[in-house]
Amino acid sequence: MSAAAEEPPVRALLQRVGRSYFPLAFIARLPFAMTVIGLLTLVVSARGSVQLGGLNSAMAGLGVACIGPLLGAAADRFGQRPVLLCAGTANGLLLAAFAWIAFSPLPDGVMLLCAFLIGATSPQISPMSRSRLVTIIAHDLPVLQRPRLLNGVLAYESAIEEVVFVFGPVIVGLLATTLGAWAPVVGASALTLIFVVSFALHPTSRPPRTPAERAATLAPASELFRPALLVTVLGIVGVGFFFGSSFTSLTAFMQDRGDPESAGLLYGAMGVGSAILALSVAWMPQRFSLRARWIAFSAVILLGCVVLQLIDDVGGMVLSLALMGFGVGPTLVNLYSLGADRSPAGRSATVMTMLGSGIMVGQSSAAWITGAVADHAGTATALALPLVAAVIVMLAGVANWWLTPPAGDR
């Protein structure tokens, strides 16, 4: 057995990517998670409408939906570095512009256009990071090390994803309550210009493949539309819808109590158990298959949403959010693991970007819908929308159960 095969898998991966890679990738993905909630918080504060704030978040999500997968496809074709450099620079400047526009006399339409462009240029570090790591494990590490290391890396990435998407709103809340509603968006702009650019220039960003290499390794685009992959995308859109509806209804809940800026802080109650459970997925027994985990943990989210319908105070809200968190983290791990398994050859960045876009599309559209419901039908009705999201995730899991043969599940 070679020395490379005997080397511990994690150490081999760290030597390949460098010890700075994981901290850099963590910080670089924060702006993406802060964007939807940051825009919502800023617009609610600057222009006094939850509905308008949600609409701006939805426009950002529409931008991601229209352009996000194209950025992933461009990264598969031309390499991540030029794509991230262009998108990151444009996104950072647009975020800074939005912070000024929100408090300016410019009409709402200008603000909505800027929100769309922010979504369209969002540099989705999470899917790009997953694509880099999956590719490195598949090509640069010994065969015997790959399966368990891949599971561990995807569990870590999904746990970090969960931490970022839960604590992104917490950061927004801290900045908004201490410095002002403009601070989260300006902060996201600075993080993008510094850390996304650094991530783009990191040595793990491989040079683009030649046309001959692409022709030999790139699966047909039609394979991106296989039912098993599409149901995975549907599931992750449902998780994004859950994020957006739960945070926006929580914002309305706290606005009724005169403290909407604290919504991000309370939202952190979801994060602790979620991150712990997400990390633990790598050590769950293989007989507890991915299709079974999807249904089991989405049921936990569903239970937390049922509890949400029964609460009428801040303590009950924290309890229900904590319960939901125990299901969200593992569900995200499973969805990204399934996405990695089902990625057509040569299209991992495209698939991972589809999944990353799915979260933001679900989150932003839910923010818009939930904001409108809160304004017109009241907070109690808005609090029912996370339950709808949980049902979507559960039904997608049931569909996945029938689309996944037992012999092909792991």
Examine residue 393 and state whether it is found in any structural domain, yes or no.
yes
Span 177-190, average pLDDT: 89
113 within a domain of the structure (yes/no): yes
**Considering the chain, what percentage of its residues have pLDDT values greater than 70?**
86
Q: Which of 48-62, 113-127, 344-358 has the lowest mean pLDDT?
A: 344-358
The confidence score (pLDDT) of residue 267 equals 77
Q: Is residue 7 part of a domain?
A: no
Name the pLDDT band for 5 (thresholds 50, 70, 90). Answer: very low
pLDDT band per the 50, 70, 90 thresholds, residue 1 = very low
Grade residue 94 by pLDDT with cuts at 50, 70 and 90.
very high
| One-letter identity of residue 267 | Y
pLDDT above 60: residue 226: yes
Number of compact structural domains in the chain? 1
Predicted pLDDT of residue 391 = 96
Over residues 268-288, mean pLDDT:
74
Residues 387, 272, 291, 128, Cα dihedral to 10°: 100
HEC assignment per residue over the chain: CCHHHHCCHHHHHHHHHCCCHHHHHHHHCHHHHHHHHHHHHHHHHHHCCHHHHHHHHHHHHHHHHHHHHHHHHHHHHHCHHHHHHHHHHHHHHHHHHHHHHHHCCCCHHHHHHHHHHHHHCCCCHHHHHHHHHHHHHHHHCCHHHHHHHHHHHHHHHHHHHHHHHHHHHHHHHHHHHHCCCCHHHHHHHHHHHHHHHHHHHCCCCCCCCCHHHHHHHCCCHHHHHCHHHHHHHHHHHHHHHHHHHHHHHHHHHHHCCCCHHHHHHHHHHHHHHHHHHHHHHHHCCCCCCHHHHHHHHHHHHHHHHHHHCCCCCHHHHHHHHHHHHHHHHHHHHHHHHHHHHCCCCCCHHHHHHHHHHHHHHHHHHHHHHHHHHHHHHCHHHHCCHHHHHHHHHHHHHHHHHHHCCHHHCC
pLDDT at 3: 44
Q: Is residue 289 part of a domain?
A: yes
Residue 387 or residue 256, greater confidence:
387
Mean pLDDT of the chain: 82
The C-alpha atoms of residue 391 and residue 398 are separated, in whole angstroms, by: 10
Looking at residues 36-51, what average pLDDT do you find? 84
Tokens of residue 128, six digits: 């790009």
pLDDT of 6 strictly over 70: no
- pLDDT tens-digit map of 361-375: 888 788 888 888 988
- pLDDT > 90: what percent of the chain? 27
Task: Answer yes or no: is pLDDT of 88 > 90.
Answer: yes
Q: Is 266 part of a structural domain of the chain?
A: yes
In a domain, 2, yes or no: no
Q: How far apart (Å, rounded) are the C-alpha atoms in residues 145 and 143? A: 5
Q: Which domain, by its residues, includes 316?
A: 22-408
140 found inside a domain: yes
Residue 98 is assigned to a structural domain of this protein? yes
Q: Is the pTM here over 0.85, yes or no? A: no
Q: What is the mean pLDDT of residues 99-121?
A: 94
pLDDT of residue 68: 79
CATH classification at residue 248: 1.20.1250.20
